[in-house]
Amino acid sequence: TSILVLNGPNLNLLGTRQPEIYGHTTLADVEAMSIEHGKARGVDVVCAQSNHEGALVSHIQDARGTHAGIVLNAGAYTHTSIAMMDAIKGAEMPTVELHLSNVHAREEFRHKSFIAPVAIGVIAGFGANGYKLAIDALLGFLETR
């Protein structure tokens, strides 16, 4: 089994971007941690990041037939992207929506998610540790399916 950990816009700046909100862990750290965590669970974790909405849509489309599911931190596209919502729906990919910060404790515009209605569930507010939680949640879902 392999799963895709997909990060969206500005997450390449993790560690230096508003560390009071997103922490000091870098994207490279998060990806290494996710791969390690997958290994311990016996699954291959493949990581990708893009700042471009269309590239993220393509990653979701291409995941079909390659990966069993997706852990997705869509960044700000979470709150705007009907295209990513449609891609998840169209690819029929079990997807866990993930946020480092607790988006519900922040600005009103972060409360709306286009991803959540097509996700199997949402994890938010646990910082970098959320990636491990999301991987476990996805694997738990895949096991009982």
Comparing CA positions, the residue from 82, 34, 39, 33 lying closest to residue 57 is: 82
Contact pick of 27, 35, 46, 76 for ligand DQA (by CB under 6 A): 76
12 interacts with ligand DQA by CB under 6 A:
no
- Which member of 34, 49, 50, 73 binds ligand DQA (CB under 6 A)? 73
Is 99 designated active site? yes
> Does 119 sit near ligand DQA (CB under 6 A)?
no
Is residue 22 annotated as part of the catalytic site, yes or no? yes
Q: 110 near 131, Cβ under 8 Å?
A: no
Of the candidates 92, 103, 95, 55, the one whose C-alpha atom is nearest the C-alpha of residue 71 is 95
For ligand DQA, the closer of residues 50 and 73 by Cβ is 73
User: Which amino acid, 72?
Assistant: L
Would the annotation count 44 as a binding residue? no
Catalytic residue among 59, 67, 99, 131: 99
- Cα angle for residues 136, 2, 97 (degrees, 5° grid): 45
Q: Are 5 and 71 in contact (CB under 8 A)?
A: yes
Least separation, in Å, of the C-beta of 55 and ligand DQA?
16
Position 101 contacts ligand DQA (CB under 6 A): yes
